[in-house]
Chain A
């Protein structure tokens, strides 16, 4: 019932019911703004072709929880079926691959928290710490890892989500301080890729245009392609990074601006993102496409 009300509120399919929800929302927001002063009216339109200011270059990549929040309003996914924690191996290898894996592991954590699966979250919390040791960042990550494990034990899901976000941010900030901006970007890419794969898997099993629209993210793909294109050093030419770069180009070709994303597109996005994850996160599955989750 809650899901249906959310759909009505957000997507406006039942105007009268929607009006009621808007009224409630207005009351809630009104209470929060009692002490606020209304801002001077914003211009209704700005001329982007002649903008007198400056474009900020930094891109903030949404965490998987943001897109999961919408999917939760549109559907009732079986989040537990989306958890797919790979077998634990020794976290060794190129730092670029470790950074991607770290991001995807945090993405896995966001799936597990949607599922409210405390056992999996605690396992992920421990693996996050092990991986951070391999990256030389254990001191910064340990407090977050412990908080994740404790919050999962207390079923404090909001706290788990906050700590997963904080973990990723701490790792990225620390990498940037060490002038490892490339690695920082790869952490974001790993998380985005894992989130994209699970979302496309769910949508593929229960397609709707509203859900497919969530994949309309050409700006983020362009950002990640730029990140890989600008990589320097031996990792830039590793087969894994080259393969992921090719995968991003394929995703970009599907998610073209002003194009509706079809069911077939979603299936392709699921399979391509899966193949990309198999470069460093999942075991490669020969002659199999996608995953079957409900």
Chain B
């Protein structure tokens, strides 16, 4: 898997920095979208971690992230993908594969799932990014992204994804 960063302008830098996020002039756009999904929950007292997961993945190929959770904390995981027209969803399971998500949402480029662990243990967060639109099904924005300009913007067969979490 290629964990390269997607470079985007200063607007996204400001968004990331507003959550104490990434600096140095560039941010990961999928992470920025995940952080955007986290914003309302920060106001509810969730502390969003600086560390996170990101990379690229083939559309529809599920990813599993192992993570230590503590009983007594409440968690939200937020995922994002920046490719126009792509969707993403996130679920959480215990180490036996049983779903433990209490609620979730998915809105095109970002999604979230909440968990209140019943025991302190390693859990599995599943992220699936999908993109299947072609031809006339594309919106103008999506078409723009898929009209190659000197090789830029052409769908390469993989989607960017990012995952962040918060606790309280």
Name A residues whose Cβ lies closer than 8 Å to a Cβ of B.
10-11, 28-29, 32-33, 36-40, 42-48, 51-56, 58-63, 65-67, 69-70, 73-74, 158, 161-163, 165-166, 168-170, 172-173, 210, 213-220
Q: Is the Cβ of A162 less than 8 Å from the Cβ of B97?
A: no
Residues of A within 8 A of B99 (CB): 42-46
Q: Is the Cβ of A53 less than 8 Å from the Cβ of B71?
A: no
Q: Is the Cβ of B63 less than 8 Å from the Cβ of A56?
A: yes
Chain A minimum-CB-distance residue to B62: A53
Q: Is the Cβ of A216 less than 8 Å from the Cβ of B168?
A: no
Q: Is the Cβ of A70 less than 8 Å from the Cβ of B72?
A: yes
Residues of A within 8 A of B139 (CB): none
Chain A minimum-CB-distance residue to B41: A32
Choose among B23, B57, B68, B97 the residue that contacts A54 (Cβ–Cβ < 8 A): B57
Chain B minimum-CB-distance residue to A44: B99
Least distance between B42 CB and chain A CB atoms (Å): 10
Query: Can you spell out 15 A-B residue pairs with CB atoms less than 8 angstroms apart?
Result: A39-B89, A39-B104, A42-B126, A45-B93, A46-B93, A54-B64, A55-B66, A58-B65, A165-B20, A165-B50, A172-B51, A214-B70, A214-B71, A215-B120, A216-B121
Q: Is the Cβ of B106 less than 8 Å from the Cβ of A62?
A: no
Q: Is the Cβ of A46 less than 8 Å from the Cβ of B126?
A: yes
Given the complex of chains A and B, what is the CA–CA distance between A169 and B21 in angstroms? 10
Chain A minimum-CB-distance residue to B72: A70
Q: Is the Cβ of B55 less than 8 Å from the Cβ of A56?
A: yes
Chain B minimum-CB-distance residue to A72: B72
Contact of A73 with B72 at beta-carbon distance under 8 Å, contacts A165-B49, A216-B119 already known: yes
Report, as a range, how many residues of chain B touch the other chain.
Answer: 35 or more
Residues of chain B from 100 to 148 with CB closer than 8 A to chain A in the complex: 101, 103-107, 111-114, 116, 119-122, 124, 126, 128
Q: B29 within 8 Å of A by Cβ? A: no
Given the complex of chains A and B, what is the CA–CA distance between A46 and B63 in angstroms? 12
Given the complex of chains A and B, what is the CA–CA distance between A63 and B67 in angstroms? 12
Residues of A within 8 A of B73 (CB): 66, 69-70
Choose among A11, A55, A217, A220 the residue that contacts B72 (Cβ–Cβ < 8 A): A11
Chain A minimum-CB-distance residue to B105: A36
Least distance between B37 CB and chain A CB atoms (Å): 9
Given the complex of chains A and B, what is the CA–CA distance between A51 and B101 in angstroms? 19
Choose among A47, A168, A220 the residue that contacts B68 (Cβ–Cβ < 8 A): A220
The 7 closest A-B pairs by CB, nearest first: A53-B62, A70-B72, A36-B105, A169-B50, A39-B106, A42-B91, A39-B104
Q: Is the Cβ of A217 less than 8 Å from the Cβ of B68?
A: yes
Least distance between A23 CB and chain B CB atoms (Å): 15
